[in-house]
Amino acid sequence: MKKKMKRGQAVLSAWTLIAAMGLTPVLSVSYPNGIATVYAKEAVNEAVEEAGTAPMASPSEARREKEKDSAEGEMAQAGITQTDQKADQDTGTSDLEDKTEAKAEEEETEAGTEEIKTKESEAGAAEVIIDKDELIPATPSNATPSNAMFYKGALNIWGGMEMSDHFDGEGTEEEPYEINSDKDLKLLAYHVANEEVDGYEGYYFALTRDISLSDTASWLPIGYFTEAGDSEPKPFKGNFNGQGYRVYNLKISDTTQDYAGLFGSVHGAVIENLTVDGQVNAHSKAALLVGETNDSTISNCSSRGQVRGVGVIGGIVGEAYDSVILECTNTAGVLGGTDTDGVNEAYAGGICGSAQSSFMSDCTSDTTDSYSALYSEGYVGGIAGNIYETEIYNTYVEGKVGSTSADYIGGLVGRMRSGQVKNGRFAGTIGASTSSTLKTAGLFVGYIEGGNIDLGDDLAYLYTDSEDKYSLNPFGNKLTPQIRLEHHIGAYYSNQRDFSLYQMGSFIKQTNRYFYEELETGVLEIGKENIHHYAPSKTGDPIRGYLITIPAVDHGTLSVLESQNNFAKEINWANPGAVAKGAKVLVYTSPLNETESEPPVYYELVPDSLSWTTDDFDKEEIIHTNGAETSFTMPEGNITLSAKYRAMTNGVILDKTELTFEIEQIRSGSRWNPQIGWKVTDPQKLTATVIPDTAANKNIIWNVKDTDGSSTDVIHVTENGEVSVNQSAKWIQELIQAGVTNQELYPSKKITTEGTNYASVTVTTEAGQKRSSAFVTVNFKITDDTVVPVSDVKLDQSELAFEIVRTLEGDRLDPTERYSVTPSKRLYETITPEYADNKNVKWSVGDADMLRIDSEGIVSAKENAKWILDLIRAEEERNKEHPYAKKEASGTRSNYVTVTTEDGGKQSVCAVNLSFRTDDQTIAHVASVALDKSELKFSIEKVMTGSRANPSVSYQVTDAQQLTAFVMPEEAENKEVSWNSVNEAVVSVSGNGLVTVLPEAAWIKALEKADADNLARDKYYVSTAAGTMETSIQVLTLDGQKSAECKVVVAFKTTDQTQRPSSGSSGGSSSGGGGGSSRSVIGSAMSPNFDSAGTWIQDSTGWWYQNKDGSYPAACWQLITYNGTSEWYHFDEKGYMQTGWFTDTDGNRYYLHAVSDGTRGRMYTGWNLIDGVWYYFNPTSDGTKGALFMNRQTDTG
């Protein structure tokens, strides 16, 4: 099928058929700008239906003018007018060009119409002659871009889309269809979806420029559904070469869409050399490049932007089956969720969401920028979210992988059911998983399903950029304890030259090879032809290389070495390796002579036999050996070297073909003034043999050259073939100077300079100029055993402060004690220089009784330090006689902490200020309560006067008496009391202790009633009613329920002063009214006396005192001297000495010593402990000496 047409050609041919079929356009066409028109069938008669496959091809240019009028007539019948033919703004063509082209197309249409009529009338055959020499079957795809029988239902997806009307090019590999615009891409998508040419299987497309898909509409992928509701998309099956260009501004914004990407579904396709940049927000099977790929190859493609979905999503490919993905790079964010309908798993991968029976190699995912991210709520992997029977090799991941909502996270693969993952590097971070379901996370594989995956065979040569990352298991839920050195699981260092391997929880640094060699060994063990090899850069880190294969050579050796690369290693048949493209490669050949045979046989290289050939045999080059050096430039491809040797008839040979010298500079002592020592390989002897032995001139010349043929001062050879190495060579001195200079910039680092130089020793015969060479390897290294001494030490703080608080709670006499101390503080030392070798320090404190410090510099104060206990004891001593005084012990002390370096004894000191205080939260509880009086007496006298028959009555009642309660101790915090009358029918007491007798009490009324009854029986009866009632008043403290009681005696009597009635009197009269009552106060006052050297006398009642004049003190105080000590005593009304508690007439309470110890009866002053309670009595002679302090402040506070 020929697709190369001029613009408008296919459309006009389609119009011709449309007019014949009676179709009406539902989407207008802008002609001749290349915008196609889509039609729906309105009415088609049977004849047209039968001819539905009639061709829509254009005839030759020669017939256009002839059929112009006929074509115009057909167009008019079809309803196509010039109004429909708008100018194409994109083509930039002039009006003249448009008219010229339109005219030509009209001619073509006319010819096409006539052709159709002719063929239909003659045979109804579905064939049309496209040009003079070509007949093709007529198919609907000949009418680009429309299938004339396009259904209305398809308009839901494809209606309204502006697209090109044809492709430039032939669709062959040599002349592919050209994709020049976004309309070309839309045309391709439309054709594939509508099965115009079966997915373009076998056809080739090429992108010719960067293309923007800047339409506001959501992109319909290449390889998508024909109609809305279709169960399967129509896949793209062709070959698409991006040629290094990009498609950008891709936008898909349908969150229900599957098969989302620039390509939706591809089958048997090849997509290469393409970059896609855009935003894809779909459902599942979504990626920027391909939603789903089957049996296809994706190579050298890149994705940028962002992909969102809830099912299977990836940066390059959403889901892959039986496909190959090579050399692809993703920098797009891949943001996955969970399939809300629960039908599908959620997989997200930087390259591919999920892969089955597929192959991936040399792919990179980098989501380190702030825009990109890689996560899903299911399985997440830096390369693939899920793999089954899939091989993944030579991959690299950088950036964060996973998030807190993921179930399974792997640095390279989220979930691995089967397959192989080898030669992978993970330089990113793992997002922690905190979802509630069972999940794991691994540095390389998040979750291994099943038991058919083995270390070595399936998982090997996997590395992170830090040993610290192994705090996370390498393989999530399995295999970690089984890792051994032979599995090559480890970490590479920041210089990317050195690395270590993991085994049984520890790392073993590998010193016998560089990291690029480790990676290349992994590639060689994988053994696949289409994966990249590794070579060293000039600084030793791994870069892309191309394999050099050297087969075994008969009768000689063949090896190569990259020139001027200190990290390159020799490559030979036993040690294959790779070299970077463009590098200069030195070739070394050496014969294997048979010196033991008789006669000896010597071999030489066959001229022009040394060559290389690319593995695809596209290139071959002979390596010439007649110059100063033998070398070639490494091509961009894997190559095989070959050489042939033959028996030599004349020449010269050497007994050794290789020499190796080791030079080591050893630096020791102080880094600032090191001692220098050397270790150098002794000179080595080469022996040359001239062939044949019968040669007349056996003179030979020795010389040395660098590997590039220039002179060298690294080695020296004498005239008799003794080779020695020069430790003063410029190359060595430059390495030393570079190491020293670097150490001056970074003095913390030891010099680790290493280098290798290569040279050759050549012997040349004087006659015939025959040569033989020995390859010389000189290894140089610096062993830096210097140490950096400590010059100073500083502490991060110059002063610390600690507070110790002693808190007292509970009863003041029996408190609960606890201590709180400022939390420990850490001091950090700074060693100068910070890279000093010995940073060990010792910590000490000035007074270990006050402070403690551990080996980490953590300082804490001791709460039971002696200085604190001393303060407490001193306060206790001061308050010995003041037990209820609040505790206020406090004080401060100073101390210090010293740090001392082990190296040099450098010191730094931090002052420590300690403060102690007492927080007394105790309560002074009530110990006792006392009343100022022990007994109250009340009298009630009923006085009757006047006529006995009708007397006047009055009462004389003792006034209310005040009781005062004394709550002990004075410091008690709750002194509240309650008052209670034991017999409220006799006396009552107020809330403040005022006691009132009740003259109307029932017991008095009973006595009066008895009198009245007697008087009723005997009118001459004289009232004598009297009686006494005893009760008490109680006081009770709210704190502690302490109580005291005062006895109350109430005496009632009747004084009858009435007149006896005269005899014979009949009746009587009374004068005055009824009786009344009155009250009187009874009290007394007593003054103290002074002793006058009297005598103590004791009788059966107690002690009394007789003054010198014979009198006896009574109801008074008396100051009496006994045994040289004067004390106050009190005597009662009868003259007896009183002891214990005593209240005077002024209400003052005193205590008189009650113990028979020679001072019984003396008055207490100051603090005294009585019945387990402390009391304070006035010690001052102010008229109330000895009186109990109540509601007053003592002289001590």
Contact present, 207 and 179 (Cβ < 8 Å)? yes
252 vs 695, higher pLDDT? 252
pLDDT digits (tens, 9 = 90+) for 1138-1163: 999 988 888 889 999 988 887 899 99
For residue 1104, give the H/E element and its range. strand 1103-1106
pLDDT digits (tens, 9 = 90+) for 934-947: 999 999 999 998 88
Question: What single-letter amino acid sits at 623?
Answer: I
Say if residue 221's pLDDT is above 90. Answer: yes
Burial tier of 72 (Cβ tally within 10 Å: 0-12, 13-18, 19+): middle
Do 658-784 and 792-920 have matching folds? yes
pLDDT digits (tens, 9 = 90+) for 1-50: 333 333 333 333 333 333 333 443 333 333 333 334 343 333 333 333 33
Burial 910-949 (b: 16+ CB within 10 A, else e): bebebebebebebbbbbbbbbbbbeebebbbbbbbbbbbe
Do you know the residue count of the chain?
1197
pLDDT digits (tens, 9 = 90+) for 831-881: 999 889 899 999 999 999 999 999 999 999 999 999 999 999 999 999 988
**CATH number of 658-784, picked from 2.60.370.10, 2.60.40.10, 3.40.50.1970, 3.40.190.10:** 2.60.40.10
Instruction: Measure the CA–CA gap between 347 and 76, rounded to whole angstroms.
Output: 57
Say if residue 641's pLDDT is above 90. Answer: yes
Instruction: Measure the CA–CA gap between 166 and 848, rounded to whole angstroms.
Output: 95
Burial 955-964 (b: 16+ CB within 10 A, else e): bbbbebbebe
Stretch 203-227: mean pLDDT, rounded?
93
Say if residue 1136's pLDDT is above 80. Answer: yes
Instruction: Measure the CA–CA gap between 1162 and 1151, rounded to whole angstroms.
Output: 8
pLDDT of residue 1: 37
CATH class of 928-1059: mainly beta
pLDDT of residue 298: 99
Question: Which residues touch 1013 (CB under 8 Å, ≥6 apart)?
Answer: none
Say if residue 580's pLDDT is above 50. Answer: yes
Say if residue 1124's pLDDT is above 80. Answer: no
Contact present, 200 and 169 (Cβ < 8 Å)? no
pLDDT of residue 529: 85
pLDDT digits (tens, 9 = 90+) for 145-167: 433 333 333 446 888 788 999 99
Contact present, 817 and 806 (Cβ < 8 Å)? yes
Say if residue 1071's pLDDT is above 90. Answer: no
Say if residue 128's pLDDT is above 70. Answer: no
Percent of the chain past pLDDT 90, that is, above it, reads 58
pLDDT digits (tens, 9 = 90+) for 961-993: 999 999 999 889 999 999 999 999 999 999 999
Architecture of domain 169-531: 3 Solenoid (2.160)
- Under the banding of pLDDT at 50, 70 and 90, the label for residue 1094 is confident
pLDDT of residue 829: 94
What are the E-state strand segments in 506-579?
Answer: 506-510, 533-536, 542-549, 556-562, 571-572, 577-579
Say if residue 517's pLDDT is above 50. Answer: yes
Among 78-92, 427-441, 618-632, name the one with the lowest average pLDDT.
78-92
Task: Quote the CATH superfamily of domain 1089-1177.
Answer: Cholin Binding (2.10.270.10)
Percent of the chain past pLDDT 70, that is, above it, reads 82
1040 vs 477, higher pLDDT? 1040
Stretch 467-482: mean pLDDT, rounded?
87
Say if residue 396's pLDDT is above 80. Answer: yes
pLDDT of residue 371: 64
pLDDT of residue 881: 87
Closest C-alpha among 1151, 322, 298 to residue 314? 298
Helix axis angle for 9-21 and 95-122, nearest 10°, is 40
Question: Which residues touch 165 (CB under 8 Å, ≥6 apart)?
Answer: 7, 8, 9, 10, 11, 34, 35, 36, 144, 145, 187
pLDDT digits (tens, 9 = 90+) for 456-474: 999 999 999 999 999 889 9
CB atoms within 10 A of CB 504: 11
pLDDT digits (tens, 9 = 90+) for 110-127: 444 444 343 333 333 333
- Under the banding of pLDDT at 50, 70 and 90, the label for residue 247 is very high
Q: Where along the chain do its domains lie?
A: 1-166, 169-531, 546-645, 658-784, 792-920, 928-1059, 1089-1177
For domain 792-920, the question of CATH label 2.60.40.60 is answered with yes
The chain-wide mean pLDDT, for the chain, equals 83
- Under the banding of pLDDT at 50, 70 and 90, the label for residue 342 is low
338 vs 1045, higher pLDDT? 1045
Instruction: Measure the CA–CA gap between 330 and 281, rounded to whole angstroms.
Output: 17
Stretch 428-445: mean pLDDT, rounded?
74
State the distance between the two ends of the chain, measured CA to CA, in whole angstroms: 120
- Cα dist. 1174→518, 968, 1128, 1147, 1164 in Å? 91, 8, 21, 20, 12
